[in-house]
Structure 1
Amino acid sequence: MSEEIAAIGVLYAPFLGGMMVGCFLFGITISQAILYFRNYKDDALFLRALVASALLIDTFHFVMVVDVVHIWYLFCKLPQNYALLASFPWPLGASIIATYLITSMVQALYILRVYMLSKNLWATGFISFLSLAQFGFGLFLWEDLFVANSLTALHGTKGQVGGSVELAATTLCDISISVALWWYLHKGRTGFAKTEKMVDKLILYIVNLGLLTSAASLLTLILWLVMPSSFAFVSLTLIRSKLYCNAMLVTLNFRQTVRTALHGNTTTGQSTTRVFQDIDGVEMNSYKKSIP
């Protein structure tokens, strides 16, 4: 019996690793959120509410993950609680829902940015479909785990289908967002040195942040398919909400740099630049308006 418990403890080690990395990333999330609410007091209520909601959900996610680790690594050490090691604790289910919510919220903001920059309904619709697919199949996976009340359901047919499609849709959605932003920003190049420099900064910060979440999702998918029984993919799954929150906050906080570049751009001979609106991403379209 002791050998079986030890084997289960090693199997669940990725949960502990994910929580430890999540602690570090959560600290960054808090600092980025403080910067945002301090520097962007004039943002629309919608955007500030979105950031506040994401921060609250991510905090809830962090608390739930800590509770799961507490259950498995402390509470289940008692002999009478050994059986709980094979169960699906409700805090883990709550953390999964929180992850899907944050992923969808951040992706929605990026999708809005793509639309405002491109005005392309087909591209926006395709990316939106992928985002909805990741949320829908994520709930499909959660429901299977909840009903089975066991993590072994991950290795069943429904679990494999739900998890694979959810991760694939998330990865493809993030990649599509990054490609769309790069393409439409690249098309908007003007030939003016200062404007070109600003566009390069936008691509560096916005597209690369999208690629970061894409790479994390892709690696999670690979680990899910190649090493499903090891739970190695869990470490990345537990920090996914933190990656998305930080990507969103870094992008929002970067707007001041873009605004300064726009207002200081005299190459085009314009004395004024279009006033920034409240929804993030308008600044990427604003530099086009400053060109005669």
Structure 2
Amino acid sequence: MAVVAREVASTIDNTYGLLYIAVVVSTALYGAGILQFWMYIRKYHAKDPLIVKSLVIAVIICDTCQQSLLCHAVYEYLVASIANPAILPSVVNTLMIELFFSCAIATLVQQFYCWRIYKIGKSIILAGAVSLVSWSACVTLLVYSAKAVQLKAFSEVINLKKLSVAANTMSAVTDIIISAVLVVILHTAKTGFKRSTDLVNRLMVFTFNTGLPTSVCALVASICVAAFSETFLYIFFFLLLGRLYTNSILVTLNSREYIKSSSESASQEQYSLENSGVRARVPQMPTASRDAITIRIDTNTMHDNDLKSAH
């Protein structure tokens, strides 16, 4: 009896226990995202173009919907099941419906970064290729979500194991490709001057760090699906992806003031996120618009600024 009790406890810990922990961690990340959203509203909402504001609001709405559906599912499993234990082995629809919102968040954020690739690299072919990979991951996840929402029992989820691994792997690959492409493009923008190089290095590190959490989380989810498919360990990491994507895009947008101030203190160069350029600050001249989605290094201006400072 003692052995059986330990096995039951272990099963609960590996399934509904992990689902509960996922809600707790996800809620904390959701709160961080709302804080970032509030900071965005204060600093950039009035300045950014409509498409950027719409993107941010769409992501926040999807994030809120996913978090609400997740909380409802956990309530059903851990509270409502006390009066109706038959709920435990069944699939609560809200747990699967939230997958569609997770897919929407990931695709919106990835397409945002694809736009950055286009604005920085000025290559529609390169940006289009990365965007195509993102949409492929989106379609794969949509197919998985459509099949998962039809399931009646958790025992049937194992039938979608290969599709789940494919969806998470493609999402991770997309994030890795986006980060790698942005880092390479920024690296090629280096001018050879110390101040400009330091500036680009800062951007490269920032780009790498914003893409790392989602890539690692998706990869770990894929590994857990393959190795621990009988538990909810993969669900734990998968449920965090939406929050991580939301925080990623908001941190990217809110970091503009930090990057601008850092560049000004180092070399008096100013980032313009509207026209994707870096220009020297000219005294007594109106400040250029700083609203944008991407940061492009204007190497010619950097050369000019460094040459002037050398005289």
Using the size of structure 1 for normalisation, the TM-score is 0.89
The answer to whether the 8 A contact 1:174-1:214 is kept is: yes
After superposition, the Cα gap between the structure-2 partners of 1:24 and 1:245, relative to the gap in structure 1 and judged at 3 Å, is same
Q: For structure 2, which runs of at least 5 residues remain unmatched after alignment?
A: 270-277, 305-311
Alignment of 1:162-201 (within 5 A): 162-201=163-202
Q: 2:19 aligns with which of 9, 15, 24?
A: 15
In structure 2, the partner of 1:220 is: 221
Q: Please give the per-residue CA displacement for 1:57-95, whole angstroms capped at 9, x wherever unaligned.
A: 1111111111111000010121xx222222221211221
SS in 2 for 1:135: helix
Query: Which one scores higher on RCO, CA 8 angstroms, separation ≥ 6?
Result: 1
The answer to whether the 8 A contact 2:26-2:240 is kept is: yes
In structure 2, the partner of 1:127 is: 130
Q: 2:67 aligns with which of 62, 70, 91?
A: 62
Q: Which has the larger radius of gyration?
A: 2
SS in 2 for 1:93: helix
The answer to whether the 8 A contact 1:22-1:238 is kept is: yes
Alignment of 1:66-215 (within 5 A): 66-78=71-83, 81-156=84-159, 159-215=160-216
What is the alpha-carbon distance in structure 1 between the residues aligned to residue 231 and residue 258 of structure 2?
A: 44
Q: Please give the per-residue CA displacement for 1:8-55, whole angstroms capped at 9, x wherever unaligned.
A: 633222111111111211111111111111011200111011111111
SS in 1 for 2:149: helix
Once the two structures are TM-superposed, the CA of residue 222 in structure 1 deviates from its matched residue by: 0.9
In structure 2, the partner of 1:239 is: 240
Q: For structure 1, which runs of at least 5 residues remain unmatched after alignment?
A: none
Q: 1:34 aligns with which of 25, 38, 41?
A: 38
The answer to whether the 8 A contact 1:8-1:85 is kept is: no
The answer to whether the 8 A contact 2:91-2:154 is kept is: yes
What is the alpha-carbon distance in structure 2 between the residues aligned to residue 279 and residue 260 of structure 1?
A: 16
Amino acid at match of 2:94: P
Amino acid at match of 1:202: L
Amino acid at match of 2:202: K
SS in 2 for 1:87: coil
The answer to whether the 8 A contact 1:141-1:162 is kept is: yes
Aligned CA-pair RMSD: 2.5
The answer to whether the 8 A contact 1:195-1:287 is kept is: no
The answer to whether the 8 A contact 1:47-1:278 is kept is: no
Q: Name the one with the larger helix percent.
A: 1
What is the alpha-carbon distance in structure 2 between the residues aligned to residue 121 and residue 270 of structure 1?
A: 28
Once the two structures are TM-superposed, the CA of residue 148 in structure 1 deviates from its matched residue by: 2.5
Using the size of structure 2 for normalisation, the TM-score is 0.84
After superposition, the Cα gap between the structure-2 partners of 1:231 and 1:271, relative to the gap in structure 1 and judged at 3 Å, is closer
In the alignment of these two chains, the number of paired residues is 285
What is the alpha-carbon distance in structure 1 between the residues aligned to residue 170 and residue 117 of structure 2?
A: 18
Give yes or no for the alignment of 1:49 onto 2:32.
no
After superposition, the Cα gap between the structure-2 partners of 1:258 and 1:88, relative to the gap in structure 1 and judged at 3 Å, is same
